Amino acid sequence: MKVNIQTNQELSLPMMGCGTWAWGNRLIWQYDESMDKQLKGVFDLCVSNGVTLFDTGDSYGTGKLNGRSEQLLGQFAKAYQGLNQENICIATKIAAYPWRLTRQSIINAGKSSSQRIGRNADLVQMHWSTANYAPWQEGRLLDGLAELYQRGLVKGIGLSNYGPKRLQWAYKKLAERGVPIATLQVQYSLLSTYPITKLGLKQICDDMEIKLIAYSPLCLGILTGKFSIKGKYPPGIRRFLFGQLIPKVEPLLSCLHNIAASKNKTVAQVALNWCICKGTIPIPGAKNTKQAQENIGALGWHLDSGEVEELDRIAASLDRKMVQNVFQTH
């Protein structure tokens, strides 16, 4: 299904972005305000190297720090003076909370995000679909999203965690208002190929001229190559997940290590480049400039077709995969 709608040409997306879930999250990522100087360094380094897309959300942060990620991005963007300044794209996500029931609730949420950022967000996305538990809620929320675009309060709108059926429904609904969907964001990595291999979302997005953004492309750190059966796992909630997954995905990690060594790259860079080769925009997180620099090293080169096929084959053969987001729809 393809409908003729007027797309907004002002929204320009790079080959890779930066996820900022950790910027304010204490529960999983052990954020502390003392990290802010490092995070500003991450922002500056990314922008100067062409990684100008920063993905955030109005729910990002822990407890009283909710919205902290948006606040930090606003501060950093305002202070930045340098290369690619004009290309900075702050993309936020509005949570489909149960108490957000009206078109106006989404408009208000978008305005609140803009206040925290200090300017309008460039891209506003629906954080998840309510199709799995309250499908009646969603139409009004999408109307609010469309109105943010039609009022010129955002350059583009997007969706997150939508499967093909719900995506096509939303596409048709928004197209009736002449509003395009710029992006679809899904959990996608070598350990989470489901959105493309099972749901076929890449082809559907291509047909609709929607950019596919890959969140968690390093699988919370499992695909960085920095953790193994014999080593220590990270603290907190991730420790349990790593203990469950890493012993089961050793063949994939071994293949990544081999390809990385042959190309003088890191495991993380190979895993990110694989996402790029698949036609997606990965948005790996970074809490310090060392991590940001490593992510940037995934750009400027490509895996060859044989390497991509080998990674595909091994990923498909694994007994265990990453748990899918519970909000992912069909």
263: how many CB neighbours lie within 10 A of its CB?
15
Q: Please state the length of the chain.
A: 330
Q: Give the single-character DSSP code of 75.
A: H
Q: Give the single-character DSSP code of 119.
A: S
Among 212, 185, 171, 64, which Cα is nearest to 127's?
A: 185
Question: In whole angstroms, what is the distance from residue 183 CA to residue 159 CA?
Answer: 6
Looking only at the bridges linking them, the beta strands covering 211-215 and 17-19 are unpaired
68: how many CB neighbours lie within 10 A of its CB?
23
Q: What is the residue-wise DSSP string for 123-190? A: EEEES---TTT-HHHHHHHHHHHHHHHHTTS-SEEEEES--HHHHHHHHHHHHTTT----EEEEE-BT
Q: Is 80 a catalytic residue?
A: no
Catalytic residue among 31, 60, 149, 215: 60
Give burial (CB, 10 Å; 0-12/13-18/19+) of 86.
exposed
Catalytic residues: 60
